[in-house]
Amino acid sequence: MTSTTRPSPSVASRRAALGDPGYQAFVILRVGFTVAPILFGLDKFTNLLVDWPAYLAPWINDIVPGSAQAAMYAVGVVEIVAGLVVALAPRFGGWLVAGWLAGIIVNLLTIPDYYDIALRDFGLLLGAVALARLAQRYHGERQPH
């Protein structure tokens, strides 16, 4: 006589969640919008990827105190915090990142030759909104580890 073992309800629930394409999209966006802002935020302090002060519109540079690089330090802190908020509270963090990206887009649209980057950031903004909406759907469900 063979006995069959069934997974516990929590294991079955985790497997079902992992098989749900919506939940998979939520996890992908959550990881991406956690890691990317943190890495870009850290790079504001080193300028390894790009000369970040060049991305600051002159009119913004004129109204913020200090240098463009000092402004980028503040931007870096905000981006790191935004990434951490996405990790801890994606329902709020998705909207925070979307709002931040909207500000970046306005900045970029006022600098000639940066329209392609503004368009890319608009795509990222849409992804952040999708994350916030998916987080609303999956909030409170036990997440697989």
Residue 101's alpha-carbon distances to 16, 80, 120, 138, in angstroms, are 33, 14, 10, 23
For residue 86, which of 39, 120, 45, 54 has the smallest C-alpha distance? Answer: 39
Q: Model confidence at 139, in pLDDT bands (50, 70, 90)?
A: confident
- Count of C-beta atoms within a 10 Å radius of residue 68: 17
Give the angle 109-98-17 at the CA atoms, nearest 5°. 145
Q: Is 59 helix (H, G, I), strand (E, B) or coil?
A: helix
* pTM confidence score: 0.84
Looking at residue 18, its pLDDT comes to 78
Retrieve residue 66's tokens.
């200090």
Q: Model confidence at 15, in pLDDT bands (50, 70, 90)?
A: low
Looking at residue 86, the DSSP 8-state letter turns out to be: H
Q: What is the mean pLDDT of residues 36-40?
A: 97
What pLDDT digit, counting tens, does each position of 77-119 carry?
999 999 999 999 999 999 999 999 999 999 999 999 999 999 9
Residue 12 pLDDT more than 80?
no
How many residues are there in the chain? 145
d(CA 106, CA 27) in angstroms, rounded, equals 29
Residue 118's alpha-carbon distances to 31, 56, 107, 134, 142, in angstroms, are 22, 13, 9, 24, 36
Looking at residue 115, its pLDDT comes to 97
Residue 1 pLDDT more than 80?
no
